[in-house]
Amino acid sequence: MKHPLLFILLFIGIKSVFAQNITAKLIDKTTKTPISFATIKTGEYSGVISNEEGYFTISSDVSENTTLLISFMGYSSKSLTISDIKALNYIIELEPAINQLDEIYLSNKKPNIDSIIARVKRHANKNYSTDLRQYDVFRRVADYVDFENLNFEIDKASQVKKQQLEKVNTDLQALTKAIMNSKTVQFIDFKGTLYTQTKDSTKLTVSKATKLLDHNKDFSIDNVQERAKNIMLRYLDTTKTYKVKTGLFKIEDSLSFAEMKKERAKAKKEEFDVNQLKGGVKRLLRFSKFYDNSFLMNVLNPRLYEYVIDDVTVYNEQLTYIISYQPRKGKAKYSGKLYITDGDYAVTKITYSYFENRHGSKLNLKFLLGVKYEENLSSGLVLYQKQSDSTYQPKYINHESGSYFYVSRDLTLIQNSKYRFKLSTDFTIEGSNRSKEELLITATNATTLNDYNSIKQQKKTPYQTLTKFDNTIWGSDETLEPLQEMKAFGSE
């Protein structure tokens, strides 16, 4: 052949065209509704999870003849190849499993629920070893802010011309309108490896990270205050410097218009603090851990919770009890369901949410410091997968949290001169924020103390900023299939 290099490049190009990721949807055969959070195994210990809309994506690295095992609690498992999925036009129907509760009760005595819970706790150390582990993870966080009330009002302006004051008010009103009309949301994704020595000693390495946001709609409380400060500073004497005071606290000694321009001109490094990313992963994993006074151990405390057996089914060839729980005492906060195997008494799935009027952290200093806060949303689920060493390790964690906030404070710019000219405004901001976190663990392996000690965690990791969803950014990596909301981000 005269041009072997050209042939090789052509072959690679053709292969890349045909080797594409496969996206399909799971639905209930009877109702045609999406099946969320089902497990799609591409190997004995690898695979992905369907999202809330029932969609999942299989990497192009998976062969067309590889058998995928699709399973979800309450449905009959299904084995398919990529070729089968294509033949089904990428829509996969699962059949509801036959209710076996009466059959089980006829052939055996009715299970004792207290005995089941006690055995889960007794087997926990054997079933859930988490020390010296290596977790390959993909984490996604979606943050939302909804504003209910926002008000800026200039209440003091010394030595400021009327025309300047009108411009300040006009710009502050425009900022208020933009914020109130906005839908503030951002998405952060990263892929990496978490190394655990104990539940408290961990290290994280990050291979890739992205942030998807609209800079024009970045309206966090700190960002709103910063924008208001910059608007006020713009119309003052640009040759002078100013002190900034917010509430009871002076936060800057010398601020000038020139410095503001200089700071804005600086190219900010697009980096995440790795410790903060690690903290987020650890916080999610704690919903799946068994140790003294952990979330799960509290749920399994009969003094705090009461239990009811809702059903008995077969899942992954194991008899499984479906047990609902709710608070017995006031200090217990959650209700949900436990899915417990009959053979080794392992929790393979748990769902949870605040029960009735329960809530998390609460702070009300509205009249003293102009601050009020209440965590009013906490819900999610944890899915486990059995490993080759017979331990159960978390496969997928979904957690949604939310809170109400109220902040009312004054913002004052004081000129650094003997005249002490001031421009002050009171602002009130009220609303709610919500965070949806997902953690997919694509691989779990045991490791050694030497391996753990050899890992070097970086302080910072770069990320890529996106203003529009890009479905090619992760290539063939195993990740979470995004919801339509994220796919549409930036398309408008």
Is 60 exceeded by the pLDDT of residue 108? no
Mean pLDDT of 316-345: 91
Measured CA to CA, the distance from residue 308 to residue 422 in angstroms comes to 65
β pairing state of 464-466 and 202-213: parallel
Angle value at C-alpha 452, between 446 and 458, nearest 5 degrees: 125
Measured CA to CA, the distance from residue 168 to residue 157 in angstroms comes to 11
**pLDDT higher for 458 or 97?**
458
Q: Which residue has the tokens 């050899």?
A: 454
Sorting pLDDT into bands at 50, 70 and 90, what band is 250?
very low
Contacts of residue 98, defined as CB under 8 A and 6 or more positions apart, other chains included, come to none
Size of the chain in residues = 492
Highest mean pLDDT among 63-77, 274-288, 405-419: 274-288
Highest mean pLDDT among 43-57, 71-85, 436-450: 436-450
pLDDT value at position 373? 86
pLDDT value at position 476? 83
pLDDT value at position 259? 57
Assign domain 4-97 to its CATH architecture. Sandwich (2.60)
pLDDT value at position 357? 87
- Give the domain ranges of the chain: 4-97, 141-182+216-452
Say how far residue 26 (Cα) sits from the centre of its chain: 22
pLDDT value at position 14? 39
Mean pLDDT of 454-462: 95
pLDDT tens digit string along 259-296? Answer: 555 555 454 678 999 999 999 999 999 999 999 889 99
The amino acid occupying position 286 is: R
Q: Where are the beta strands (DSSP E) in 12-60?
A: 22-28, 39-41, 47-49, 55-58
Which of the 8 DSSP states describes residue 200?
Answer: S
- pTM beyond 0.75: the answer is yes
pLDDT value at position 412? 76
**Which of 208-212, 343-347, 428-432 bottoms out in mean pLDDT, i.e. has the lowest?**
428-432
Measured CA to CA, the distance from residue 338 to residue 113 in angstroms comes to 12
Angle value at C-alpha 316, between 313 and 321, nearest 5 degrees: 30
pLDDT value at position 218? 65
Is 50 exceeded by the pLDDT of residue 9? no
Contacts of residue 354, defined as CB under 8 A and 6 or more positions apart, other chains included, come to 333, 334, 335, 360, 376, 377, 378, 379
**Which of 105-114, 162-171, 320-329, 414-423 bottoms out in mean pLDDT, i.e. has the lowest?**
105-114
Is 50 exceeded by the pLDDT of residue 75? yes
Question: Closest by alpha carbon to 191, among 486, 479, 412?
Answer: 479
Q: Which two tokens stand for residue 308?
A: 């009811």
**Which of 105-114, 324-333, 389-398 bottoms out in mean pLDDT, i.e. has the lowest?**
105-114
**Which of 13-27, 80-94, 99-113, 367-381 bottoms out in mean pLDDT, i.e. has the lowest?**
99-113
pLDDT tens digit string along 337-369? Answer: 999 999 899 999 999 999 998 988 888 888 777
Sign of the dihedral through C-alpha 439, 402, 287, 382: negative
Which of the 8 DSSP states describes residue 385?
Answer: E
Average pLDDT value over all residues in the chain: 83
Computed on alpha carbons and rounded to an integer, the radius of gyration of the chain in Å comes to 27
Say how far residue 93 (Cα) sits from the centre of its chain: 28
Mean pLDDT of 23-32: 93
> b/e string for 133-149 if b means 16 or more Cβ within 10 A?
bbbbbbbbbbbebebee
- With the CA atoms of 298, 299, 305 and 310 taken in that order, what torsion angle do they form, in degrees rounded to the nearest 10? -170
Measured CA to CA, the distance from residue 438 to residue 399 in angstroms comes to 6
β pairing state of 133-157 and 184-196: antiparallel
Mean pLDDT of 315-334: 89
Measured CA to CA, the distance from residue 303 to residue 295 in angstroms comes to 14
Cβ contacts of 470-476, under 8 Å, gap ≥ 24: 473/210, 474/189, 474/191, 474/208, 476/21, 476/59, 476/60, 476/61
Is 50 exceeded by the pLDDT of residue 7? no
Is 50 exceeded by the pLDDT of residue 35? yes
Give the Å distances, CA to CA, from 430 to 82, 150, 193, 442.
Answer: 50, 6, 38, 39
**Which of 63-77, 134-148, 413-427 bottoms out in mean pLDDT, i.e. has the lowest?**
413-427
Which of the 8 DSSP states describes residue 45?
Answer: S
Query: pLDDT above 70 covers what percent of the chain?
Result: 84
Exposed/middle/buried for 197, CB within 10 Å: 0-12, 13-18, 19+? middle
